[in-house]
Structure 1
Amino acid sequence: MASKGAQKGKGKAGKGFKAAEEPSVAKSMKVWSTWAMKKAKIVAHYGFIPLIIVIGMNSEPKPHLSQLLSPV
């Protein structure tokens, strides 16, 4: 039965942690851009139809909401 102290060095950040293992600027930019694109996709997905309705209601001649939502 191994003690907990013997397994201590098997972690990711052991005694030999080097500065080269820190995340680089390019990697952090990739992570940030991926996060931003995921959020932009959600905003575009749920905001497109309300945006079209708002634009349609602010145009001339002023249509009613039922006219905007009807397929004709």
Structure 2
Amino acid sequence: MASKLTLKAKGKSTSSSKRGGGGGGGLSDMEIPKPLKEWPTWFLKKAKVVAHYGFIPLIIVIGMNTDPKPSIAQLLSPV
């Protein structure tokens, strides 16, 4: 048996949901499972950490693979 995804509408309810009738099962009748609600938050937290700690090492690696081959001291100096 296949499971059915349903969403609950936020804000004002529609007239069909107030009456309890109406067979138009639109997006307001769908409910999203909890893991599907939480994965964007989890993914963005992990992406933030990766971007935070990986940006400067990425720049150093790219700089060391360029054609003039600078030394590590030249890459880390501000000039």
Common fold, TM-score beyond 0.5? yes
CA RMSD of aligned residues (A): 1.9
5+ residue gaps, structure 2: 1-30
Q: How many residues align?
A: 50
Partner of 1:43: 50
Deviation readout 1:18-68 (Å, 9 max, x if unpaired): xxxxx733x422201100100000000000000000000000100000000
Which structure carries more helix by proportion? 1
Partner of 2:66: 59
Q: Within 1, Cα distance between the matches of 2:74 and 2:61?
A: 13
**Secondary structure of 1:59 counterpart:** coil
5+ residue gaps, structure 1: 1-22
User: Could you list the runs of 4 or more consecutive aligned residues of structure 1 that deviate by over 6 angstroms after TM superposition?
Assistant: none
Give TM-score, length-normalised by structure 2. 0.57
* Percent of matched pairs sharing the same residue: 69
Q: Within 2, Cα distance between the matches of 1:47 and 1:57?
A: 15
**Higher Rg:** 1
Report 1 or 2 for greater relative contact order, CA contacts < 8 Å, sequence distance ≥ 6.
2
Give TM-score, length-normalised by structure 1. 0.62
